[in-house]
Amino acid sequence: MGANEAKLYFSTELLNWYNTHKRDLPWRRSRNPYYIWISEVMLQQTRVETVIPYYHRFIEQFPTVEALADAPEEQVLKAWEGLGYYSRARNLQAAVREVKTSYGGQVPDSKEDISSLKGVGPYTAGAVLSIAYNKPEPAVDGNVMRVLSRYFLLRDDIAKPSTRIGMEKLAKELIPEGKAGDFNQALMELGATVCTPKSPHCLTCPVMELCAGRLEGAADELPVKTKAKPPRPERRAVAYIEGAGTESGRVLIRQRPKEGLLARMWELPHVQLPETLQASAGRAGADADAGADAAAMRFLREKLEAEYGLLVEPVEPMMDTEHTFSHIEWRMRVYRCRFAGFTEGAAAAGDRGGDAGQASGEQQEKTTFLWFGEEELRQYALPNVFVRILQQAPPADSPKS
């Protein structure tokens, strides 16, 4: 059988299979390009089951392009809290604002226009154009590259941009006339439910008969992907600063800088431990641990004072946790701290939302601190790792389990 027949077989069988096996997902009940766009951004690197409740809440809160464009960023981040990759939410809002001002609130239906929006890469552009507008554009992500690598027995490294471009060309050729939206979704569906990364379910696969990867016994080895460098570990000391008096029951949080990692999100203050402390923190034994903790607590106290004019008395270690980004891994030890005020010149964070003074040293941006309690929980967006710490931290006067 020739290459063209293998392609035709693939497209036909896949589409037939999709028509009877597709999952009933909320965004599939709509052709609204704005809704489809939101679902596609949420689905990047996040599982369908996780996305569904977020999608419903988000659409309810921001039902139109205008509603999202006009919303305060803090509210959008709060609605996104728990999905991670917050830059996606910020880019989405920036792009939607552009749609409102430059396209009269209509999500553009041309590849050039939609691709010019912030955060809209070839995959999202292809997904929205094909699913909402039925334009014959490919939508190639990791799932799709895996399916195509296996079916066509392609051994090109999918981490390379040139491979992606080749895959997009191939995927476009495969789109049956007038069926772009369904076909692209069928391809994604096959990758998500049948041609899974580990142990693909070849025996129930609609294209198994001509799948070259399966026939070659190579499905498990495909796709070829060179490994990204593992994230660099960083040990960090986190200050869990408990309020007293009128702030009793609250914890001091700060807002991150405007740019960079987790920009403008709120978090417990934390510092990176220097190499020397990192080494001692890794040594075994109770004495070594106690010594490492004492040194880390000293460093935390000095650093918070020097950088933010924030005075704390670290008391004891509370818990360990970690958070992995694509390039770094935070290995965090949380220390319970007593709040001792701010240095002269740094305004107190007594008011909720009050400023806590001018950061000094390399960090010139003003840092805002806030006493965070139940009430603030609904309003401010914290990265998952800090939500976890707040949920798990044992109260000071309770027996630790």
Q: Hey, which residues are catalytic here?
A: 40
DSSP 237-250: EEEEEE--GGGTT-
CB 97 within 8 A of CB 69: yes
Whole-number minimum distance, CB 212 to ligand SF4, in Å? 8
CA atoms within 13 A on the CB side of 51: 16
Count of beta carbons in the 10 Å neighbourhood of residue 162: 9
Q: Is 167 in the site for ligand SF4 (CB under 6 A)?
A: no
Whole-number minimum distance, CB 211 to ligand SF4, in Å? 3
Query: Distance (Å, rounded) from C-alpha 105 to C-alpha 129?
Result: 16
Whole-number minimum distance, CB 45 to ligand SF4, in Å? 21
As given in the structure block, the two tokens for residue 20 are 């009877």
Indicate the residue among 213 and 243 with the shorter CB distance to ligand SF4. Answer: 213
Q: Residue 323: beta bridge partners?
A: 330
Q: Is 171 in the site for ligand SF4 (CB under 6 A)?
A: no
Q: Is 147 in the site for ligand SF4 (CB under 6 A)?
A: yes
DSSP 298-365: HHHHHHHHHHH-EEEEEEEEEEEEEEE-SSEEEEEEEEEEEEEEE-TTSPP--STT-B-----TT--S
Q: Which of 84, 213, 243, 383 binds ligand SF4 (CB under 6 A)?
A: 213
Q: Which of 139, 195, 262, 304 binds ligand SF4 (CB under 6 A)?
A: 195
Q: Of 194-202, 248-256, 294-302, 382-390, which segment contacts ligand SF4 by CB under 6 A?
A: 194-202
Count of all residues that appear for the chain in the document: 401
Q: Of 12-20, 178-186, 197-205, 329-337, which segment contacts ligand SF4 by CB under 6 A?
A: 197-205
Q: Of 35-43, 62-70, 207-215, 347-355, which segment contacts ligand SF4 by CB under 6 A?
A: 207-215
Q: Residue 14: beta bridge partners?
A: none
Q: Is 223 in the site for ligand SF4 (CB under 6 A)?
A: no
Burial label, 360 (beta-carbon count in 10 A; 0-12, 13-18, 19+): middle
| Helix residue spans in 122-253 (DSSP H) | 122-133, 142-151, 161-174, 180-193, 212-215
Whole-number minimum distance, CB 201 to ligand SF4, in Å? 6
Q: Which of 33, 108, 200, 223 binds ligand SF4 (CB under 6 A)?
A: 200
Q: Which of 88, 150, 303, 336 binds ligand SF4 (CB under 6 A)?
A: 150
Indicate the residue among 1 and 284 with the shorter CB distance to ligand SF4. Answer: 1
Residues that bind ligand SF4 (CB under 6 A): 147, 150-151, 194-195, 200-202, 205, 207-208, 211, 213-214, 219
